[in-house]
Every structure is written in structure tokens, then in C-alpha cells.
């Protein structure tokens, strides 16, 4: 594992090419312990590909990727993944699992219960603590198939934390959640970041409203290249986000959360209604008569 002075994640001049197409080009990203990064950009920007490099799932075509002190290509990727927590709403877990069993599969890294495997007393205690932290302890015996999307999302976060990772990756964790479920999930993420101050994380999303309040840094990706990267307040500006998504938006930051809305149309550009013929009828629309 990286020494305290070393970054948790260090990506230097990385290109990722598939079928002759540059999916990522000249990417640089350094994440230190306790930092919480957000990757934002339109569809096809390369966010998921970059996350796969962070998670030791894919190798770069060119450049260097160092995760938890180990350079990809010079380490057993399967062993390295055991130190990385990955939250993906599309994780194909066995729906017959209970919430407690699903959380415990974070130890084995499997999508179902491993036959003849028995969790240790330490693992059971950790599962209890994480279910309590993420607000799903009362559901421990409930089947995954009976959970709401929000309950499943918080269960997946607990599962990802079971191996005590140094790096947590969240791939659009709010996908499919209604407003209340999203807010509960984001509150849970903020809580666990406070509980584990050395934990580093990278979260992928399309929407600024889905960023936890504890987000410290951000990267804007467009066309596989970095548009801006650094402290979140410097990156999430109206100008930069508008350029990234090729649409004029206003960014607001209030109560440690971000919102984006379309830039208002100047009044001079608004269409005006002029009746074809003057009338004294207070209800010129025949439907009002």
C-alpha cells in the first residue's frame, strides 16, 4: 500500500485507444488520501473508461497508471482490486442474497454466496458496523429482490467497504434513484467519508446535483480529454461547465451542494405575442367564451 506521502492514484500522460479511436488522450490525475474527486462530462467523454483504469480493470495504451503504489502492468491486477472498493448500481448480484449476505460478498469479491465459505467473526462485526453506518441494518434479513433502488445502493456501498479499501470508486451511484433515495445515499457517502478520513474516492456522474457535499476536487472531461481539473470550486464554474457540456448553464453552490440550470434567455430574445387584429374582447381566445 502507498506510503503516507505517496498518492493513492497517479495517472500520468495516459492514452487509451480502441479500434484506432482515442477514447482517452493525455490524461493526468493524481488523487491523495482523503481527497474525493468527481469526474463529470457528457456521454462519450471517457469517464467510465478512466474509472476502469482507476479500478485496475483496464490497462492504458500509453502512459503510466499507479494505483495504491503499484504500477499497472507490474502487479497482479486481481490482488490489487481487493484493496479497491467499487460501487456500480449495475452489479449483477444474486437476487436471492439477503442484505447481510450481499454485504459479506465484499470479502470474497463474488456476485453470489461462495459454497462452504464461512465469514469470520471479524467480518460479521464489520458487516454489522457498515450496515448500521449506511442505514440498512434493519434490512439485514431482507432479500435483495425486495429492496428499493435506494436501499440497494446503500447496500452496495457497504459491500464495497468490506475489504477496508484505500480507494473507493462510485460509478453513477444515484442512477435510478428518486429524490429522497438520492439524498439518503449522498448523506451516507458524506457520513462514511467523515468516518474514514484517509479514504480516497472517485465518483462518476453526469449531474452536479448528485455530488456529495464532501467532494473536494473535480475533473471535467470532453472528447476524451481533460477540460479542467483541480479543487472543486475552481473547476465547477458556469463557464467551464457550459463549455464541457456545450450548453449555457448557470452553476450555483449553496449549503455545500451544487446545482445547474439553463442560462436564462435575455428578454430581448423572448418571442412576443401580437394579435393579428385589435379587439376589445377581454377573452379573444374562443375557448374562453
Mean pLDDT of the chain: 88
pLDDT at position 45 is 94
| pLDDT band, residue 119 (cuts 50/70/90) | very high
Residues in the chain: 289
Q: Which residue has the higher pLDDT, 175 or 65?
A: 65
Mean pLDDT lowest among 34-38, 208-212, 237-241, 260-264: 260-264
Rounded to whole angstroms, the Cα distance separating 126 from 132 reads 10
Per-residue pLDDT reduced to its tens digit, 57-115: 899 999 999 999 999 888 887 778 888 999 988 889 999 999 999 999 999 888 899 99
DSSP assignment letter at 5: T
**pLDDT score at 288:** 46
In the DSSP assignment, the letter for residue 1 is -
* pLDDT digit string, tens, across residues 233-282: 999 999 999 999 999 999 999 988 999 998 776 655 545 555 554 545 55
pTM, 2 dp: 0.84
Name the pairing type of β-strands 36-40 and 217-222.
Answer: parallel
What's the pLDDT at 287?
45
What share of the chain in percent tops pLDDT 90? 67
The pLDDT-based confidence of 289 (bands split at 50, 70, 90) is: very low
State the DSSP string of 215-246: --EEEEEETTEEEEEEEHHHHS-HHHHHHHHT
Please tell me the predicted confidence (pLDDT) of residue 202.
Answer: 97
What are residue 55's phi and psi, to 5 degrees?
-90, 10
Check whether 25 has a pLDDT greater than 50. Answer: yes
Averaged pLDDT, 47-55: 94
Q: In what order do the strands lie in the sheet with 9-18?
A: 21-31, 9-18, 62-67, 70-71
The whole-number pLDDT of residue 74 equals: 83
Q: Does residue 285 register a pLDDT over 60?
A: no
Write the DSSP string, 87-126: E-TT----TTSBHHHHHHHHHHT-SSPPTT----HHHHHH
At 89 the pLDDT is: 86
Amino acid at each position: 500500500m502507498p506510503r503516507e506521502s505517496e498518492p493513492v492514484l497517479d495517472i500520468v500522460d495516459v492514452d487509451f485507444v480502441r479500434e484506432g479511436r482515442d477514447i482517452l488522450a493525455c490524461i493526468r490525475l493524481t488523487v491523495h488520501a482523503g481527497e474525493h474527486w468527481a469526474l463529470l462530462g457528457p456521454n462519450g467523454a471517457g469517464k467510465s473508461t478512466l474509472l476502469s483504469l482507476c479500478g485496475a480493470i483496464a490497462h492504458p495504451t500509453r502512459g503510466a497508471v499507479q494505483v495504491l503504489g503499484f504500477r499497472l502492468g507490474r502487479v497482479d491486477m486481481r490482488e490489487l482490486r481487493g484493496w479497491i472498493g467499487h460501487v456500480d448500481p449495475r452489479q449483477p448480484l444474486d437476487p436471492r442474497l439477503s442484505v447481510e449476505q450481499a454485504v459479506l460478498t465484499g470479502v470474497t469479491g463474488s456476485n453470489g454466496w461462495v459454497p462452504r465459505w464461512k465469514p469470520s467473526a471479524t467480518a460479521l462485526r464489520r458487516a454489522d458496523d457498515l450496515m448500521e453506518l449506511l442505514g440498512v441494518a434493519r434490512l439485514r434479513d431482507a432479500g435483495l429482490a425486495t429492496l428499493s433502488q435506494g436501499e440497494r445502493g446503500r447496500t452496495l456501498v457497504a459491500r464495497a467497504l468490506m475489504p477496508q479499501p484505500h480507494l473507493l470508486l462510485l460509478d453513477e451511484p444515484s442512477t435510478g434513484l428518486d429524490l429522497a433515495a438520492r439524498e439518503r445515499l449522498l448523506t451516507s457517502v458524506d457520513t462514511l467519508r467523515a468516518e474514514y478520513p484517509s479514504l480516497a474516492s472517485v465518483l462518476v456522474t453526469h449531474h452536479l446535483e448528485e455530488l456529495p457535499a464532501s467532494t473536494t476536487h473535480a475533473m471535467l472531461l470532453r472528447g476524451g480529454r481533460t477540460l479542467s481539473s483541480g479543487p472543486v470550486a475552481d473547476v465547477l464554474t458556469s463557464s467551464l461547465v457550459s463549455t464541457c457540456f456545450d450548453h449555457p448553464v448557470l452553476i450555483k453552490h449553496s449549503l455545500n451542494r451544487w446545482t445547474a440550470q439553463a442560462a436564462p434567455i435575455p428578454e430581448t430574445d423572448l418571442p412576443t405575442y401580437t394579435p393579428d387584429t385589435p379587439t376589445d374582447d377581454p377573452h379573444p381566445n374562443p375557448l374562453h367564451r
